[in-house]
């Protein structure tokens, strides 16, 4: 590859993207939703990643990469020289180069379009249309293994083909111990709904490296093994049995093993079986509905907030009732105390009047003595009653009452916060619908 070719590639103008306002709305919505859920302190990072981060990332990705939207994405993967590009050529009547040992230097989407066109998606998210003559730049052999992945994410080939109405293919670099190609392939597995893992029948088996890759990166995907070059293998049935045993032993779940051959008398039959499988998968494929997915999550969050709000309100009302009962009891104690104090005051006044008015400078008469004794006895009883009233003021109960008042304030603050969160959640649901609309 010459320097002038690279300069020409870098000078290409980006296509105008009409969905930028929507992507910006999604980004702002994501930041607000993520902040809202983080502040709730109700959910684990695993929940947030799976139920909020990933759906919103996928939504933004589908808006940015229209060739994936509402399509079943089939990842075509496997080791070098297992026939990945040859399979694509045969399925879609293409003429992609297959002569070098390792062709694809970048993940390449093959998607539906009115005519054959090539585009690249660079690392800045810009989409650029490229002339077909430039495609050779991304061939390992021609580019001299230039690290295109530093500046370009994907190649996109648009092709008018019936099979691409509901399916987009993702042709990946061959998986090997070459860390760059392996990482490139691993990084795009999350964009695939279905995996075609190609194995050359001449190899006769999945090797340890392939098994490790399947376990680590393909475990949650619908997987088909495509046995290639079957026309050059004398015991295809034996190879299939060996691979099936290996998959079962390693605990790798797969949906089937299909055969692909280039032998002229059998190629059409093998292609029809593969196409029938693809059509069945595309028919059962459920397109990603971001509004439904995120609305379900937000409704679930709103439901949990509502439950917490009801429980907190119930607890607050119970403590409030206890506080009211305690205050009423205190009131009764002080009312009784006040009554005793008033009576004691009257008794003292009566005693004072008796002493001052009736017994001045004289010996106490019998009647006066009895009255004084009665006044003293009554006074003693009143003071005893006042002591009893004070004894009912248990210090530990006063402490408990103070604690209940603190809890009551906390519950009231929590109810206010939950009410605000519930209103925010409802507002986010409404905004989600408006953005999607």
Residue 360, pLDDT above cutoff 60: no
Residue ranges of alpha helices (H) inside 152-207 are: 179-188
Give the dihedral sign, CA 271/272/273/276. positive
- Is residue 96 very low, low, confident or very high in pLDDT (cuts 50, 70, 90)? confident
- Is residue 335 very low, low, confident or very high in pLDDT (cuts 50, 70, 90)? confident
Taking only the tens place, the pLDDT of each residue in 174-214 is 777 667 778 888 888 988 999 999 999 998 889 888 999 99
- Is residue 386 very low, low, confident or very high in pLDDT (cuts 50, 70, 90)? low
Architecture of domain 70-287: 3-Layer(aba) Sandwich (3.40)
Which of these ranges, 124-133, 183-192, 275-284, 346-355, has the smallest mean pLDDT?
346-355
What pLDDT score does 328 carry? Answer: 84
Note the CATH number of domain 292-436: 1.10.287
Q: Summarize the chain as % helix, strand, coil (round to 5).
A: 60, 15, 25
Q: What is the pTM of this model?
A: 0.71
User: What is the pLDDT of the chain when averaged over all its residues?
Assistant: 83
- Count of positions (residues) in the chain: 437
User: What burial letters (b/e) apply to 340-374, b meaning 16+ CB within 10 Å?
Assistant: bbebbeebeebbeebeeeeeeeeeeeeeeeebbee
> Can you give the residue ranges of every domain in the chain?
70-287, 292-436
User: What burial letters (b/e) apply to 268-291, b meaning 16+ CB within 10 Å?
Assistant: eebeeebeebbbebbeebeebebe
Helix (H, G, I), strand (E, B) or coil at 153: strand
Taking only the tens place, the pLDDT of each residue in 103-144 is 667 889 999 998 899 999 888 888 999 888 888 777 766 666
| Nearest one of 225, 216, 229 to 244, comparing CA atoms | 225
């Amino acid at each position: 590859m010459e320097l002038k070719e690279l300069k020409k590639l870098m000078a290409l103008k980006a296509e105008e993207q009409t969905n930028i306002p929507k992507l910006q709305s999604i980004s702002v919505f994501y930041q607000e939703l993520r902040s809202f859920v983080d502040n709730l302190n109700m959910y684990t990072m695993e929940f947030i990643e799976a139920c909020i981060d990933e759906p919103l990332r996928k939504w933004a990705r589908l808006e940015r990469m229209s060739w994936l939207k509402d399509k079943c994405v089939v990842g075509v993967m496997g080791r070098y020289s297992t026939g990945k590009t040859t399979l694509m050529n045969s399925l879609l009547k293409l003429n992609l180069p297959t002569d070098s040992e390792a062709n694809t230097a970048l993940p390449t989407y093959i998607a539906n379009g009115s005519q054959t066109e090539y585009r690249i998606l660079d690392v800045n998210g810009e989409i650029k249309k490229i002339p077909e003559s430039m495609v050779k730049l991304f061939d390992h052999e021609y580019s001299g293994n230039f690290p295109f992945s530093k500046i370009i994410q994907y190649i996109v080939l648009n092709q008018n083909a019936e099979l691409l109405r509901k399916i987009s293919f993702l042709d990946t670099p061959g998986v090997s111990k070459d860390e760059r190609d392996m990482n490139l392939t691993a990084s795009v597995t999350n964009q695939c709904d279905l995996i075609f893992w190609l194995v050359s029948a001449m190899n006769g088996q999945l090797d340890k490296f392939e098994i490790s890759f399947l376990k680590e990166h393909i475990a949650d995907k619908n997987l088909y093994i495509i046995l290639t070059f079957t026309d050059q293998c004398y015991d295809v049935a034996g190879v299939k049995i060996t691979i099936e045993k290996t998959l079962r032993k390693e605990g790798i779940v797969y949906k089937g093993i299909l055969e692909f051959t280039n032998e002229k008398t059998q190629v059409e039959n093998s292609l029809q079986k593969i196409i029938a499988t693809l059509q069945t998968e595309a028919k059962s494929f459920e397109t990603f509905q971001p509004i439904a997915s995120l609305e379900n999550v937000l409704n679930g969050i709103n439901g949990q907030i509502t439950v917490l709000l009801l429980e907190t309100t119930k607890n607050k009302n119970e403590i409030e009732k206890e506080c009211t009962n305690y205050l009423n009891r205190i009131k009764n104690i002080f009312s009784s105390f006040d009554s005793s104090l008033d009576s004691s005051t009257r008794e003292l006044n009566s005693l004072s009047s008796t002493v001052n008015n009736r017994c001045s400078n004289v010996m106490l008469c019998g009647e006066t003595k009895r009255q004084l004794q009665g006044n003293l006895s009554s006074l003693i009883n009143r003071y005893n009653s006042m002591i009893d009233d004070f004894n009912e003021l248990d210090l530990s109960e006063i402490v408990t009452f103070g604690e209940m008042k603190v809890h009551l304030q906390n519950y009231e603050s929590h109810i206010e916060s939950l009410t605000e969160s519930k209103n925010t959640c409802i507002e986010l649901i409404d905004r989600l619908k408006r953005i999607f609309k």
